[in-house]
């Protein structure tokens, strides 16, 4: 890491000399500096960022701007060298200015740029990639052994994903295998995991998750990986083993492992997956250390799934021991949701008034048995108004939007609009309560 940072400083120093030196000297240096050499510096910086050196992010922005200026001021004869053509295309696919590619293609009177590649990339960069998915796929296959091959494969996977996930996965696999240890591999692994999770392919998802954790755990995009991994574990814990989960989390330091286990415990508790929530909460406790209150969240999530059960008293006692100040606004609301479910569990069913009892001849018909009455004030407090619509979560969101302050005197129904997950937790518990009430009502007072 020290050597890498020293290299970055030397690289940055040299480029600053190019940019802020005397005008005549800067001109002479720029005229001799080949774009493909500058691109190598950009690639080095980007690869350094995804390997964990986030201090290089500023350098990446500087490099993109410097290369952009060099490409725009370069003599058209520079692009007679195919390496410089590749540099321009890779720059465009690596977060560069799309307008620069338009500029270069427009002044390419010698045919140095392959029109199929440049036209496909221009449409892709303008947001029309799905219209030329087949063209990009064909081009990526043709150029798969060239310098731009991994980048074209990554782009082809992106535009193919919505129509043919299997084909997209093949493009991603080629991209990561031909560009190991680079930002291309990081992006391809992350996208491959998303495809495998959506396709419910447990074997491949485990493989991609393990590979990402082993190679890019400190990438600035690792939070997206964590979101995918938590979802994968919660959805497929019935076929996963604790050892499978630990095989991926074993590459993480203690703090990261604890954070992931807490996120798994929370999502599992909301989904009603008791064994997983309990296991993840216990693991988080073990990783929390001995500091007072460090395991507050682990206790909260581990107790939530026990609320709509016969151990509701013990579960609520544990929940009430969690310090209020140790919880975020969203977790405070989640605990209030658990309290609501607990009240429903402990509430005795109200007897059905005699005037509402069904006729005697229909008393044996289970379909006509009247359900127990429910106090309207104890109805699901998180139910949304009928006219409201579900909020749409932003894709790849690293952080869920924070809810309003839990201490504010807002109606419980409004809390559901802030965090729909809480409503699903309560509804899951109430579905069990309704079945119990129905059975009790048939037995009579």
Which distant-in-sequence residues (6+ apart) come within 8 Å of 39 by Cβ? Answer: 67, 87, 90, 91
Q: Comparing C-alpha atoms, which of 153, 227, 147 is closest to residue 194?
A: 227
Contact of 98 with 125, CB cutoff 8 Å: yes
The pLDDT value recorded for residue 204 is 95
- Tens digits of residue pLDDT in 169-227: 999 999 999 999 999 999 999 999 999 999 999 999 999 999 999 999 999 999 999 99
Q: Comparing C-alpha atoms, which of 135, 148, 33 is closest to residue 82?
A: 148
Q: Comparing C-alpha atoms, which of 205, 201, 255 is closest to residue 230?
A: 205
**DSSP secondary-structure letter at 112?**
-
Collapsing DSSP states into helix, strand and coil, what is residue 212? helix
Which distant-in-sequence residues (6+ apart) come within 8 Å of 246 by Cβ? Answer: none
Contact of 320 with 307, CB cutoff 8 Å: no
In this structure, the number of other CB atoms found within 10 A of the CB of residue 25 comes to 11
* Helices and strands, counts by H and E, the chain: 21, 0
CA distance linking residue 237 with residue 249, whole number of Å: 15
- Of all residues in the chain, the percent with pLDDT exceeding 90 is 44
The residue whose two tokens read 């493989």 is 207
In this structure, the number of other CB atoms found within 10 A of the CB of residue 219 comes to 21
Collapsing DSSP states into helix, strand and coil, what is residue 437? helix
- Tens digits of residue pLDDT in 403-425: 333 333 334 334 434 455 555 55
- Tens digits of residue pLDDT in 366-390: 333 333 333 333 322 222 223 333 3
Contact of 301 with 269, CB cutoff 8 Å: yes
Residue 64 in this model has a pLDDT that exceeds 60:
yes
pLDDT band at 19 (very low <50, low <70, confident <90, very high): very low
Contact of 8 with 59, CB cutoff 8 Å: yes
What is the model's pTM?
0.68
The pLDDT value recorded for residue 258 is 87
Lowest mean pLDDT among 51-55, 260-264, 310-314: 310-314
Contact of 176 with 192, CB cutoff 8 Å: yes
């Amino acid at each position: 890491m020290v050597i890498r940072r020293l290299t970055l400083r030397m690289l940055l120093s040299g480029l600053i000399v190019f940019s802020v030196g005397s005008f005549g000297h800067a001109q002479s240096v720029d005229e001799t500096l080949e774009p493909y050499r500058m691109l190598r510096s950009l690639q080095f910086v980007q690869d350094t960022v995804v390997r964990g050196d986030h201090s290089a992010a500023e350098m990446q922005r500087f490099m993109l701007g410097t290369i952009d200026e060099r490409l725009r001021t370069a003599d058209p004869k520079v692009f007679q060298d195919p390496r410089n053509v590749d540099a321009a295309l890779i720059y465009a696919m690596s977060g560069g200015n799309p307008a620069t590619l338009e500029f270069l293609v427009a002044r390419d009177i010698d045919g140095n740029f392959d029109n199929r590649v440049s036209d496909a990339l221009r449409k892709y960069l303008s947001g029309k990639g799905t219209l030329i998915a087949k063209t990009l796929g064909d081009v990526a296959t043709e150029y798969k052994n060239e310098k731009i091959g991994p980048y074209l494969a990554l782009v082809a996977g992106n535009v193919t994903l919505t129509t043919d996930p299997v084909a997209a996965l093949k493009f991603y696999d080629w991209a990561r295998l031909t560009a190991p240890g680079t930002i291309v591999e990081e992006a391809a692994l992350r996208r491959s995991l998303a495809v495998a999770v959506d396709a419910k392919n447990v074997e491949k998802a485990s493989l991609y998750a393990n590979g990402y954790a082993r190679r890019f755990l400190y990438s600035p995009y690792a939070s997206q990986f964590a979101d995918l991994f938590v979802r994968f574990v919660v959805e497929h814990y019935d076929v996963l083993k604790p050892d499978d989960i630990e095989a991926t989390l074993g590459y993480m330091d203690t703090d990261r492992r604890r954070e992931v286990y807490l996120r798994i415990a929370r999502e599992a508790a909301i989904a009603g997956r008791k064994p997983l929530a309990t296991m993840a909460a216990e693991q988080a406790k073990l990783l929390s250390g001995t500091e007072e209150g460090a395991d507050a969240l682990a206790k909260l999530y581990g107790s939530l799934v026990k609320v709509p059960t016969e151990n509701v008293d013990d579960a609520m006692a544990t929940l009430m021991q969690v310090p209020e100040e140790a919880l975020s606004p969203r977790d405070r609301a989640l605990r209030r949701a658990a309290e609501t479910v607990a009240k429903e569990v402990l509430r005795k069913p109200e007897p059905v008034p005699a005037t509402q009892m069904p006729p005697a001849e229909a008393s044996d018909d289970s379909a006509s048995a009247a359900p127990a009455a429910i106090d309207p004030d104890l109805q699901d407090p998180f139910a949304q108004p009928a006219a409201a619509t579900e909020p749409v979560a932003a894709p790849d969101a690293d952080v869920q939007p924070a809810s309003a302050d839990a201490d504010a005197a807002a109606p419980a129904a409004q809390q559901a609009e802030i965090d729909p997950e809480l409503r699903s937790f309560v509804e899951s518990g109430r579905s069990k309560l309704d079945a119990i009430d129905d059975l009790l009502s048939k037995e009579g007072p």
